Structure 1
Amino acid sequence: HVVLADGAPLANLDLCVRGAYLNVNSIVASPIATGLACLSEEERDLGVALVEMGAGVTNVSLYAGGMLVGLHSIPMGASDITDDIASAFGIRRSQAERIKCFYGSAMQNPRDFREMIEIAPPHGDAAASGQAAGPNAEGGKITRAALVGVICERLNQIMTEVNAALAGMGFHSTGRQVVLTGGGAEMKGVADYAQGALGRAVRIGRPRGLSAMPEAHSGPAFATLAGLALYGASNPVDLRTMAPAPQTVHRLSTPMWWQRMIRAIKTNY
C-alpha cells in the first residue's frame, strides 16, 4: 500500500501508483505528513508554524490544539533560487544547483568577498567564459559574496510572503515557534536568516520517529516521505470510503427557549 501526499493531480498520482501494481492506501495533505514527522505532540498542541520549502512551492501550515488549523501555499521555492543563480551568472541549471548546494549560504560573511568560485559557461566554451558567465562574473569566477547576494534576494521574497501568510492565519497571537523543513531548509544559515526575517524562534525540522533511517535520508528534505511512512503505519482511515452517519438534530421549541432566556435574565438582574 502507498500513502500519497497532495501537490499533483490526485487522479494522475493514483493512476501511476496502480500502474506499478500497488494499491493506494490513503491520500493525505503533505503538511499533515510533514508535521507528523517533524513536530512533537506538545508543539502541535501549544501552537507552531510549519514552513516547508519545496522545489517549486513553499507550504505554510499552522498547528494549534493538536491539529492543523491553517494552510497557505506560496508558488516559490528552492528551484527559484537555482534559476536566479543560473540567470545571474549565465550558467546551466545543473551547475547552479551544484554551486548552491556546495557554496550557497543564507548568511553573509566577510570572507565571502575573497573566496572565489569557478563557473563554466553554458556551452563549455572556455574562450567565451567571461562573456557567457554574465555581468557578475569575471574570467569564469564569481565571489561567494555575489552568490549569497542572489540567494538572499530570493529568500527575502519568500520570507516576506511567509510572514504575510502567518499574519493572515493569526499566528502572531497564537504561535510560538516556526519549524523550517523541506529541501530548501538544507541550505547553510537559512534558520538564522528566517529567524531574523520572521522575528520568531526558528528551528530546522528533521524527520524523527523512524528507526534505522539512513543518515543520508535524515535531513529536512525527506521529512514528508518519512511522515508518509509514519502515517501509513498508523493504519489511517480513508475518508473517501466512509459512509455518512445519520445525525439527530434536537431543536428547542419556541416556548421552551423563550422561558430559558427569561429565567436567565431574572437570575442575573
Structure 2
Amino acid sequence: MEQENIAVGLDIGTTKIVAMIGRKNEYGKVEILGIGKAKSLGVHRGVVNNITQTIQSIQQAVRDAEANAGLKVDQVTVGIAGQHIRSLQHSDYITRANYDDVIEEQDIEELCNQVHKLVMLPGEEIIHVLPQEYKVDGQAEITQPIGMHGARLEANFHVVVGQISSIRNIVRCVKNSGLELGGVNLEPLASANAVLSQEEKEAGVALIDIGGGTTDLAIFKDGIIRHTAVIPFGGNVITEDIKDGCSIIEKQAELLKVKFGSAWPGENKDNEIVSIPGLRGREPKEISLKNLSKIIHYRAVEIIEQVFQEIKNYGHEEQRKKLIAGIVITGGGAQLKHLKQLVEYITGMDTRIGLPNEHLAGDTEKDTASPIFATAVGLVMKAIYEHEHQVQEEKEEEQAKLEEDQPIQTVSEEEQTSSEDTEELAQENPEKQDRATGPRRNIFEKFFDGLKDFLDKAE
C-alpha cells in the first residue's frame, strides 16, 4: 500500500472524535481503509475546553483507525466548527500591471491574499476566503476569469472568521497528539462536499449539519457557497432536556433518544411506555413515549426555527436566491425519527437526509455511509484534493526547471550536410521524398497530419 496516497480526516466534535483514513481508488471514489472513534470529553459546543482530555481522545481515535487500516499516519486534515465561527461578505480588487497578459492563477492568489490582510475584531482571524463572482474591467458575473484579458480584477468573497484562541487550541491538541496538521477546513463545507451533488449546489440548497454541540448551516447557489452559520445548539441539548424532564441520568436519556425518540409527538400512543432501570436497587421508572416525543419536539422546533431564520437572512424568498433543491439534513442528529417531516412542516421546503455514499467506493460498509460520518468523509476528500494539488504543482515546477536547464541544441556540420543531401535527393527523385524526409518529421507534425485525416473523413 502506497503511504503517499493516504489521506486522514480528523473530526473533533462535541460528542465524538473520529479519525478516518482513506484514499482515492482507480474509479475516482474514496476508499475508506480505517475508522477510529473515541468519546469527546474535552470539547463543548465545538470549542476545546480541556486540552489534556481532547489530546487523549484524539490519540485513542487515531490508534483505532491505524489498527483498522494496518498502517501508521502522521498528517491529518482537521475540521473546525463552534459557536465562535461567523461569516461576512467582502468585495476587493487588484489593478494588474501587465494588463496585456491574460489573467493567471497567481493574479487570483494575489487578490485572495489581499483579503486575508483584512483587519478583524480583536481576537479573531480569517479561516477561509471563498471567491464568489468575479468582475474583469467592470464585466460582471464571471465565474472563471483565468485566460481573460483585463487591467482590473475584482471579486466578491465569502469570508469565514473564527476566534484565534479556539483555533490555536485545536492546532495545539493535534500537534501534542504527535500529528502534523495538513490543513484546517470548516466542518459545514466538509459535510457539504460529502453529501451534496453538484446539481444541488447549482440549483440552490441549504445543508443543515446537526451535531452534538452545534448545528451548522451552509447555503449554496449557482455552485457557489453563499452563506454559512453556526447555531450553538445540537443533539446534546435535546438529551439534557430529556434528562431533566424525565429525571433520569444522561446515559439513559441518550439511549432513550436514540432508540425511542421522535420529533413528531402524534406518532406515539398514550399507552406506549418504556421502563428504565432504577439506580442502586431503586424501583424502575416508567416513561411515556408521548411525553418523551413532546420534549424532543419542542427543542427540535427551536433549533430548526433558528436555522430557518438564517436561511431567511440569506434571502431565499427572492427569485434569484431561491433554493430549488431545498434542504439536506446530515450529522448525528439527522437520525432522529421524523425529523425530516418536521423540517418540511416548519420550512415548507423539500428535505432529504444526506448520506456520504455518493463519493464512497461501492464496497464501503453500510455503517460508514452514515450521516454521523459525513464530516469525516468530507475531510478525507479535502485531504485527497490538497495532496493531488500539491503533487501537480511539484510536477509543474520540476518540468519548468528541466526546461530551463535544457541546453540549446546547435546543428552540427554533419547534420547540415545530411540535410542538404536530402534536399538534393528530393529534387532528383520526388517519389523518394517521403521516405527521405519521413524519419525527420517530429511528433507534432504527425499529430496534426492524423488530425487532418480524421477531420477529412468526418466531412
TM-score, scaled to structure 1: 0.79
Aligned residue type for 2:381: L
Answer yes or no: is the 8 Å Cα contact 1:85–1:147 preserved in 2.
yes
Equivalent position of 1:163 in the other structure: 308
Superposed displacement of residue 14, structure 1: 1.8
Partners of 1:116 and 1:22 in 2: CA distance:
48
**Among residues 229, 244, 255, which one is paired with 2:380 in the alignment?**
229
Deviation larger for 60-69 or 193-202: 60-69
Partners of 2:81 and 2:299 in 1: CA distance:
22
Deviation larger for 183-192 or 168-177: 168-177
Higher strand share: 2
Partners of 1:87 and 1:7 in 2: CA distance:
27
Answer yes or no: is the 8 Å Cα contact 2:209–2:331 preserved in 1.
yes
Structure 1 residues 105 and 38: alpha-carbon distance in aligned structure 2, compared to 1, 3 A threshold = same
Equivalent position of 2:275 in the other structure: 118
Which contiguous aligned blocks of 4+ residues in structure 1 show a shift greater than 6 angstroms? none
Superposed displacement of residue 25, structure 1: 1.2
For each residue in 1:154-213, what CA deviation from the matched residue of structure 2 results, as whole angstroms up to 9, or x when unmatched?
011111111111100112332121001111101111111111111100100111212243
Superposed displacement of residue 47, structure 1: 0.8
Partners of 2:196 and 2:309 in 1: CA distance:
22
Deviation larger for 8-17 or 30-39: 8-17
Show the 5 A alignment for 1:150-229: 150-173=295-318, 174-176=322-324, 177-208=326-357, 209-211=359-361, 212-229=363-380
Answer yes or no: is the 8 Å Cα contact 1:62–1:171 preserved in 2.
no
Equivalent position of 1:37 in the other structure: 194
Partners of 1:20 and 1:157 in 2: CA distance:
37
Structure 1 residues 70 and 83: alpha-carbon distance in aligned structure 2, compared to 1, 3 A threshold = same
Aligned residue type for 2:220: Y
Superposed displacement of residue 58, structure 1: 0.8
Answer yes or no: is the 8 Å Cα contact 1:49–1:171 preserved in 2.
no
Partners of 2:214 and 2:316 in 1: CA distance:
20
Partners of 2:364 and 2:171 in 1: CA distance:
27
Aligned residue type for 2:310: A
**Among residues 60, 69, 78, which one is paired with 2:235 in the alignment?**
78
Answer yes or no: is the 8 Å Cα contact 1:33–1:231 preserved in 2.
yes
Show the 5 A alignment for 1:232-251: 232-235=383-386
> Structure 2: 5+ residue runs without aligned partners?
1-74, 83-165, 391-459
TM-score, scaled to structure 2: 0.47
Aligned residue type for 1:161: Q
> Structure 1: 5+ residue runs without aligned partners?
130-139, 239-269
Answer yes or no: is the 8 Å Cα contact 1:37–1:223 preserved in 2.
yes
**Among residues 195, 208, 219, which one is paired with 1:62 in the alignment?**
219
Answer yes or no: is the 8 Å Cα contact 1:166–1:172 preserved in 2.
no
Partners of 1:156 and 1:7 in 2: CA distance:
22
Identity of aligned residues (%): 28
1:107 pairs with 2:264: yes
**Among residues 35, 44, 48, which one is paired with 2:205 in the alignment?**
48
Answer yes or no: is the 8 Å Cα contact 2:207–2:218 preserved in 1.
yes
Answer yes or no: is the 8 Å Cα contact 1:115–1:144 preserved in 2.
yes
Answer yes or no: is the 8 Å Cα contact 2:81–2:230 preserved in 1.
no
Q: CA RMSD in A?
A: 1.8
For each residue in 1:192-248, what CA deviation from the matched residue of structure 2 results, as whole angstroms up to 9, or x when unmatched?
11111111001001112122432222211110001101111112679xxxxxxxxxx
For 2:178, what is the secondary structure of its paired residue?
A: coil
For 2:262, what is the secondary structure of its paired residue?
A: coil
Partners of 2:315 and 2:281 in 1: CA distance:
53
1:146 pairs with 2:291: yes
Partners of 1:224 and 1:107 in 2: CA distance:
27
Deviation larger for 56-65 or 86-95: 56-65
Q: Which has the higher contact order (CA 8 A, sep 6+)?
A: 1
Higher helix share: 1
Answer yes or no: is the 8 Å Cα contact 2:264–2:294 preserved in 1.
no
Aligned residues: 226
Superposed displacement of residue 65, structure 1: 2.0
